[in-house]
Structure 1
Amino acid sequence: MNGTFADVLLLLAIAVVLVWAFRRIKLPAILAYLVAGIVAGPDVTAWIKDPDEYHFIAELGVVLLLFSLGLEFSLPKMIAMRRLVFGLGAGQVVICSLLFAGLAYAWLGNWTAAMVIGGTLALSSTAVVIKQLGESSQLTTRTGQATVAVLLFQDIAVVPMLIIIPLLASTSADISIWESLGIALLKGAGVVVLLMAIGKWVLPHIFREIARLRTDELFVLATLLVALVAGGLTHLFGLSMALGAFLAGMMLGESKYKHQLEADIRPFRDILMGLFFITVGMQLNLMVFLQNVHWIVLAVLVIGLIKMLVVRAIAGFMHEREEDSWAAGLMLFQMGEFGFVLVSLALSYALLPQDIASLLVGIGVLGMAVTPMVIQRSRSMVAPLLRKIKAKTDVDINQPDVSEPKKVLVLGFGRVGQTVSRFLTTEGIEHLAIDHDTKRVQEAIAGGANVFFGDGGRRDILKAVHADQVELIIITFAEDSKALEVLKAIRELNDHAEIIVRSRDDLRLEEMMAAGATQVVPDTLEASLMLVSQILSRSGVPIRRILARLDQARRSHYGDMHGFYPGETTDMDPEKIDRLQFLHAVQLTDNAYACGKKLAQLGLDELAIQVKSVRRDNEEYSEVHGDFTLQQGDVVLLAGGPRAIEAGESYLLNG
């Protein structure tokens, strides 16, 4: 027992260090767990004597993963995207599975192993791809939708694969695979009917009663029990436990408790899935991996190329844009987390040799490692394939007359850019918009809008529309990084124009102002100002005073609105943490270092901290300057970054 405890403790320590290190370099946590398994496994340190001891815990992780997948499975969303899901998604899975299975059979000469390999390599990583699409603001684009549709069908395809793998192992000479599959489908149909009946008529009453008691522990226990009982039921029928968990999640996914269930199950799922991926890492034969690293790199490239060509061909047949087709195919090049699940399952049924399983794990690890970089650079990577198309597009689009500079230039013709353009048109102000979305520009020109096709960040395009002579330029991009890049490019050409920049929030406000913006308009802060103006108006405050206050807030670059009090739900993403502005109240105790000192003496500016106000004896001093002396009992309201706030509090109290 002591040895097992020490092993688990060691695994957790390795996992914590590696997850931290991998997240620092923006690699997925799944890779960290796989590497932790490799380090603790028999080929590196051999700290874990028997990896099979952790098989049951790892299987629980897979069960909870499939339960979560069932919860997130949305029938309405699938119906809404049915054309892409059952056209592009189904085509990709079927064609890629057959192609990879054919190649594997030519290599191994074993149809059973070839079928497993074909299904495994056809899948891509839902977790990594969707996370990267979200971070690169591509989730709502047409490319993102096509990619998500394929991933959605792949998630559905995992379920029959989980049924087929045990059948491949149990099929005897007397019973063909098709008979076994037919029997399994009948069993599966019976289990589905039984679980759906329980989900419709029994579970809602149970969860309603649990919710009424308002006991979090009971809700968590009930959720775990439902997932495990469903898994146990399908296991009893000779099917995969993961299939039962998926069905249980699907039945509860339509209930009003869906989001609570998801939140409750996530910590258990993540920890157990971490252990599952660690056990997968332990199965990697490092010697086989190192001896065949060149073949693994080649396999990743070939698999990626085949997937990209298949997606491009199907998407082209469905009349999707060529740019979106290539990019979606490129994003799906890697083997996914469910591929590891299938490899582990096939290994437990002895359907795959150990060295082949190690090669598949190696292919998966390498593919997922480079996925973030590939998705972030997907557009530039497919650009060479699109040069001919883009040249043709430039000819097809009727570009507006740009021989003379316009009064106003609008960069970006999304919803915000179009709204700005409508108001300018209504007021009769001559303007020109620029956008690089072909379809949007064609639609806009057909509708009578004055839009020029091109990338607003390129100097040659900016020169073509006379950005060096325009007096007022509005940048409306949704991505702050893109807006900043364009702002710098414009300022190199034009140092006198007024430039108004739209941003998501105030995280990069100072950086944009430093780069030459005349005014930055953050969506979140402006929405707050509009809400406040409505509230003040309905509270009887004169409209002139309201407008004066709004104008003051904008002139001070939203100075009084920077900073907020953090809570438990505040997004503490490591990538954003340094740019957030928090508010924090510090009470000066009897022996506090700052007592009796003037603000100028303390030099808090050097710590990048601003004193917003000081409260003393129920009186608030909102405007405090360098000659203001702090006293014992004062409550000092600090504004600044999280780390600066911590340093400032320590300095005020201890010196």
Structure 2
Amino acid sequence: METQLLDTIIVISGLSLLIVFLFNKLKIPTIVGFLLTGVMVGPHGLGLVKAIKEVHVLAEIGVILLVFATGIEFSFQKLLKMKKLSIIGGFCQVILTTIFVFLIAKLGGKSTGTAIFLGLAISHTSTAIMLKILQARGESDSPHGHASLAVSLFQDIASVAMMLFVPLLAGEIAASEFLKTLSILSAVWLVPWLFYQVLRTRSYELFMISIVGVCFAVAWLTSMAGLSLALGAFLAGLIVSESKYSKQILSNVLPFRDVFTSFFFVSVGMLVDIRFILEQPFLILAVALVVLFLKAMIASVVILSLGLTLRAAVLGGILLCQVGEFSFILAQTGLPYNLLTPKDYQWLLALVVVTMTIAPFLMQLAPYLISAILKLPVPKRWKGIGDVLQEKKENPLHDHVIIIGFGVNGRNLAQVCKSAGISYVIIELNAKTVKEESLKGEPILYGDATQAVVLEHAAIQNARVAVVAISDPEATLRITEVLREIHSQIHIITRIRYMQEINRLYSLGANEVIPEELEASVEIFTRVLKKYLVPKEEIEKFISEIRLQNYQMMRPLSTQPAFFSHVQLNMANFEINAMRLQSDSPFIGKSLAEIDMRKKYGITVLAIRRKLETISNPEPSILLEANDVLICMGSPSHIAAIAVHFGK
């Protein structure tokens, strides 16, 4: 008996390790792995676990820590910052989903309380799964990423209202209980003072005890008030989140949360009756698909109505279509009030497991679905072609740069182009940014650059360079493909986050791909070398060699002709650079014949840009002047070597 709990923990840990490892390889959420572990070891499965009550105690701790961490991570400031997407979008998504599920449940003969409860439970989405999908695809900063996370943020605060609402649905709580709960929030002034006193002792152990103490004390107080432990844990998290110690507290809580939450999902899986699923697998799958479709449609319509494009709306809808783990917590809150029958509970468990399993794979189908929808006669605004997009006929664009995306990279590029006198046009999908920047005089257009008509409005046929500076990898691939289809000679430069995505961009027609992780590594070692007083010219040689090695290694051999604006080159070891002669350069006042760059430095001067004049194929007798820009061709090492003679 003494070792029964230990035996149980070993069985659960060993089996979950194998299943979660396998699911990770199959790209199925780990939550589903823990649920399946519970099904297998539980009384309805193989019956390997005997200490069922003890597992449920560990699961209760997991629930408290899970909701406590959610409360700490919640930010009212962030909610207000994304008020349109979060408050309006999140509210509409929760309400509309609840209404639709309520109507379907009522048609199925459920009571009003049960129908509303099911609607509230199904309206919630798994933030953990959604975040994992976005991070794996590098789309956390994309329009659909922002939209889905904003809606999820509202769901977090709505979860408090849901837990408060559950007893009301059963008619077993008085309004006075709400006052008790609200009085707990008065601890928002007491808790920071308590943590300050604890931190003054500089005792890590005391700090951890105080965190756990606050979490469980507030949960116990709400339980005494007739409400759920989970609600109390969330309120405790909210109280802590308002203190300046919240980030440190969260980092200390997360390891415990992850361990105990796994027991929670295992305990939920132990409640699943496998016979219930085996008796009607096709019916459960059909209902799950209906839920996925219904939630995706509602979320897509809500996001679309808030001004985002159809592409962002569809992707956001798919991210928000699964039923989240909070449904388990809400279901356990509602069971004591008889809002769910055992059969209803089994249905809810089955729907959560199936939708969580299917959801990650739906994102793989999204590009095909979006392409099919965009072929339909939908409004132009849905395609990202708004009324703001108007080409200025009086100032036709020619030999310009198209900047796609006006984030940090796009803004810096626009600023440099303006200073250098290079004409440019910006394409941006954020209507607010377009409005603000157009008032400042920026040549900015509203539109989705994956649409050919948007690029045509930006005079793509007359452009020399297109720079794709957005953070959405899938959109970057599609834009690169469309750019190359429209203009076979345009020079395409794209940014990408990770190096493994480079080959695909080259195959779609990109001329240059800038991986953020490589350029960040170059900047890091440059600063390290500077601290060790390595000469500038040696650092530049290192930079040239590192870039040459990496970019040559990453770029695949192609049987297709390369795309260049003016010069056709098949020499991978050579590059063309523009270098300005500074006032202290020893070359000033000398002719090209005197300097003899080709013989002494291995450099060929192709042209000289002097003020507004460009001198092609300059004569050897021409004298160089200060501020002349020499267009030079040579190997990276030779260019780095001669650069020191152009002055500081």
TM-score, normalisation: structure 2: 0.71
Would the aligned equivalents of 2:5 and 2:51 in 1 still touch at CA under 8 Å?
no
- Cα deviation code 1:93-129 (max 9, x no counterpart): 2333233233223323323332321221121212212
Deviation at 1:207, TM superposition (A): 2.9
RMSD: 4.3
Contact 1:71 1:250 survives alignment (8 Å): yes
Give the corresponding residue for 2:629: none
Matches for 1:455-474 after TM superposition, within 5 Å: 455=449, 474=467
* Structure 2 counterpart of 1:553: 542
How far apart, CA to CA, are the structure 1 residues paired with 2:307 and 2:474? Answer: 32
From 335, 338, 363, the counterpart of 2:351: 363
Aligned to 1:283: 271
Q: 1:143 and 2:144 equivalent?
A: yes
- Residue of structure 2 equivalent to 1:420: 413
Alignment of 1:197-208 (within 5 A): 197-201=189-193, 203-208=194-199
Deviations 1:454-477 (A, max 9, x none): 656989979x9788x987665545
Q: Secondary structure of the equivalent of 1:108?
A: coil
Q: Are 1:264 and 2:252 matched, yes or no?
A: yes
Write the letter of the residue equivalent to 1:188. Answer: T
Q: In the TM superposition, what is the alpha-carbon distance from 1:92 to its structure 2 partner?
A: 2.5
Change (3 A) 1:330 1:523: closer
Listed as ranges, the gaps of 5+ residues in structure 2 are: 555-648
Task: Say which SS state the counterpart of residue 557 (structure 1) adopts.
Answer: helix
User: Where do residues 174-573 of structure 1 align in structure 2 (5 Å cutoff)?
Assistant: 177=172, 180-193=173-186, 195-201=187-193, 203-210=194-201, 212-213=202-203, 215=204, 217-312=205-300, 314-315=302-303, 318=306, 321=309, 323-375=311-363, 377-378=365-366, 380-386=368-374, 387-389=376-378, 391=380, 397-398=389-390, 407=399, 410=402, 412-415=404-407, 416-429=409-422, 447=441, 449=443, 455=449, 474-478=467-471, 500-504=493-497, 520-526=513-519, 546=536, 548-558=537-547
Residue by residue, what CA displacement relative to the aligned partner does 1:607-630 show, whole Å, maximum 9, x if unpaired? xxxxxxxxxxxxxxxxxxxxxxxx
Greater mean deviation of Cα atoms: 433-442 or 265-274: 433-442
Q: Secondary structure at 2:390's aligned position in 1?
A: coil
Alpha-carbon distance in structure 2 between the residues aligned to 1:482 and 1:109: 44
* C-alpha distance in 1 between matches for 2:503 and 2:314: 37
Residues 531 and 96 (structure 1), Cα distance of their counterparts in 2 relative to 1, 3 Å cut: closer
- Classify 1:316/1:110 alpha carbon distance in 2 versus 1 (closer, same or farther; 3 Å): same
The 1:433/1:483 distance shift into structure 2, 3 A limit, reads same
- Determine the C-alpha separation between the residues in 2 that align with 1:164 and 1:395: 42
Would you say the 8 A contact 2:406–2:427 is kept in 1? Answer: no
Change (3 A) 1:456 1:411: farther
Question: Which residue of the partner structure matches residue 101 of structure 2?
Answer: 100
The change in CA–CA distance for 1:258 and 1:435 in structure 2 (over 3 A counts) is closer
Count of residue pairs brought into register by the alignment: 545
The answer to whether the 8 A contact 2:426-2:445 is kept is yes
Q: Confirm or deny: 8 A CA contact 1:33 1:281 kept in the other structure.
A: yes
Letter in 2 for 1:224: V
Structure 2 residue 70 is the aligned partner of structure 1 residue 66: no
Change (3 A) 1:338 1:413: closer
Residues 383/399 of structure 1: CA separation in 2 closer, same or farther (3 Å cut): farther
Residues 219 and 381 of structure 1, relative CA distance in 2, 3 Å threshold: farther
Please list the CA deviations of residues 512-568 of structure 1 after superposition, one character each: whole Å capped at 9, or x if unmatched: 789997765444554565677678889988xxx52x345423431347999xxxxxx
Match of 2:578 in 1: none
Q: In 2 relative to 1, CA 389–267 (structure 1 residues): closer, same or farther, beyond 3 Å?
A: same
Alpha carbons 2:468, 2:493 under 8 Å: kept: yes
Distance 1:453 1:105 in 2: 43
SS in 2 for 1:388: coil
Deviations 1:292-321 (A, max 9, x none): 333323323333343344445555665555
CA deviation after TM superposition for structure 1 residue 439, in Å: 8.0
2:90–2:150 Cα contact (<8 Å) kept:
yes
Alpha-carbon spacing, 1:344–1:322, altered in 2? closer, same or farther (3 Å): same
Q: Which residue identity is paired with 1:269? A: R
Distance 1:465 1:531, change over 3 A: same
In 1, Cα distance between the equivalents of 2:251 and 2:73? 12
Give 1:360 deviation, angstroms. 0.8
Return 75-84 or 335-344, whichever deviates more: 75-84
> In the alignment, is the contact (CA less than 8 A) between 1:323 and 1:382 conserved in 2?
yes
Deviates more, 1:362-371 or 1:1-10: 1-10
Partner of 1:651: none
| Change beyond 3 A, Cα 1:478–1:110 | closer
In structure 1, the gaps of 5 or more residues are 172-176, 563-578, 580-655
- Structure 1 counterpart SS, 2:114: helix
Check whether the contact 1:406–1:431 (CA below 8 A) recurs between aligned residues: no
Aligned residue for 1:624? none
Asked whether the equivalents of residues 101 and 119 of structure 2 are also in contact (C-alpha less than 8 Å), the reply is yes
Distance 1:531 1:283, change over 3 A: closer
Q: Which residue of 1 aligns with 2:32?
A: 31
**What CA distance in whole angstroms lies between the structure 2 residues aligned with 1:294 and 1:115?**
26
Partners in 2 of 1:369 and 1:311 — Cα distance? Answer: 19
Residues 424-468 of structure 1 show CA distances to partners (whole Å, capped at 9, x for unaligned) of 454344667777778878988895638796656989979x9788x
Q: Distance in 2 between matches of 1:373 and 1:503?
A: 23
SS at match of 1:274: helix
The answer to which of 318-327 and 103-112 deviates more is 318-327
Task: Measure, in 1, the Cα distance between the counterparts of 2:90 and 2:134.
Answer: 17
Letter in structure 1 aligned against 2:137: S
Change (3 A) 1:406 1:293: farther
Q: Which moved more, 1:263-272 or 1:39-48?
A: 39-48
Q: Deviations over 1:161-182 (max 9, x none)?
A: 323435656x5xxxxx5xx241
Q: Secondary structure at the match of 1:140?
A: coil
Q: Give the letter for the 1:556 counterpart.
A: E
Equivalent pair of 1:424/1:431 in contact (CA under 8 Å): yes
